[in-house]
Chain A
Amino acid sequence: DIQMTQSPSSLSASVGDRVTITCRASQAIGGYLTWYQQKPGKTPKLLIYAASTLQSGVPSRFSASGSGTDFTLTISSLQPEDVATYYCQGYNGAPWAFGQGTRVEIK
């Protein structure tokens, strides 16, 4: 099965900062990667699908890129409402595989 490894596991940044989260797959998964945002007490929210496609209603400060084994999620200007845990998820035909999550906080 595919394993997904995210880094960092947590980060603290100031409002307006650029934030980058990376995700690495244990084997090539093409562009079959999703990014989720989860706030406390809520179910995950789909932000990015197919590695780089921003889903409807997601602010344009979120972007993502990558293919194969290496992927990134970027928040161009961190806002207070972005405080959450972010998960990558590989889904290349094989079972889903989540990264361990990156907790994003405001400094």
Chain B
Amino acid sequence: EVQLVESGGGLVQPGGSLRVSCVVSGLSVSTEWMHWVRQAPGEGLVWVARISPDGKRITYGEVVKGRFTISKDDADNTVHLEMNSLRVEDTGVYHCTTRRDYGSGKAVDFWGQGTMVTVSS
């Protein structure tokens, strides 16, 4: 069974930093693209960042570019998101997710339940 379990969320002041993590079981982060997606309370899904299986290709959404850093630890099968210079608008549930394309239009995806990050003074 595949499980993605996020942790590390909490309350932080504007301008502060926080690191959230996603422990993965049932699949290997060394063979899958891993993504972070966030969702502010009552709002829509926003893609945040992704990291390739080999860790060499990393991309960020415009809203977090230059402030957030995605990384992974293959030995621990964990993905991290380091968040700096946090803003009130970064508040939301941060989900770790991955999707596997089997070809011919078939895919399967996995989502963690998320960790809540609240940026407030």
What is the interface of chain A, defined by CB distance below 8 A to chain B? 1, 34, 36, 38, 43-44, 46, 49-50, 52-53, 55-56, 85, 87, 89, 94-101
Task: Scan B32-68; emit 1 where CB is below 8 A from any A CB, else 0.
Answer: 0001010000001111001000000001111000000
Task: Select which of B50, B95, B107 is within 8 A of A96 by beta carbon.
Answer: B50
Q: How far is the CB of B88 from chain A (nearest CB, A)?
A: 20
Which residues of chain B come closer than 8 Å to A53, judged between CB atoms? Answer: 104-106
Contact status A95-B47, CB under 8 Å: yes
> Is the beta-carbon distance between A96 and B111 smaller than 8 angstroms?
no
Cross-interface CB contact of A100 among B44, B59, B62, B104, cutoff 8 Å: B44
Q: A1-B62, A44-B111, A98-B37 are in contact. List 14 more A-B contacts (CB 8 A).
A: A43-B95, A43-B113, A49-B106, A56-B106, A89-B45, A95-B47, A95-B59, A95-B61, A96-B47, A96-B50, A97-B47, A98-B44, A98-B45, A101-B45
The residue on B at minimum CB distance from A53 is B105
Task: Tell me the bound Cα distance from A96 to B105 in angstroms.
Answer: 17
Q: Given A1-B61, A96-B35 in contact, is the A46-B44 Cβ separation under 8 Å? A: no
Query: How many interface residues does chain B have, given as a range?
Result: 20 to 34
The docked-state distance in angstroms from the alpha carbon of A20 to that of B107 is 23
Q: Are A87 and B109 in contact (CB under 8 A)?
A: no
Interface residues of B (CB under 8 A from A): 35, 37, 44-47, 50, 59-62, 95, 99, 101, 104-109, 111-114
Residues of A close to B35: CB separation below 8 A: 96
Closest to B49 in A: A95
Which partner residue on chain A sits nearest B59 by CB separation?
A95
B contact residues around A43 at 8 Å (CB): 95, 111-114
B45–A87 CB distance below 8 A = yes
Q: Which residues of B contact A85 (CB under 8 A)?
A: 44
Q: Which residues of A contact B60 (CB under 8 A)?
A: 95
Q: Closest chain A residue to B105 by CB distance? A: A53
How far apart are the CA atoms of A96 and B98 in the complex, in Å? 12
Most buried by A among B45, B46, B113, B114: B45
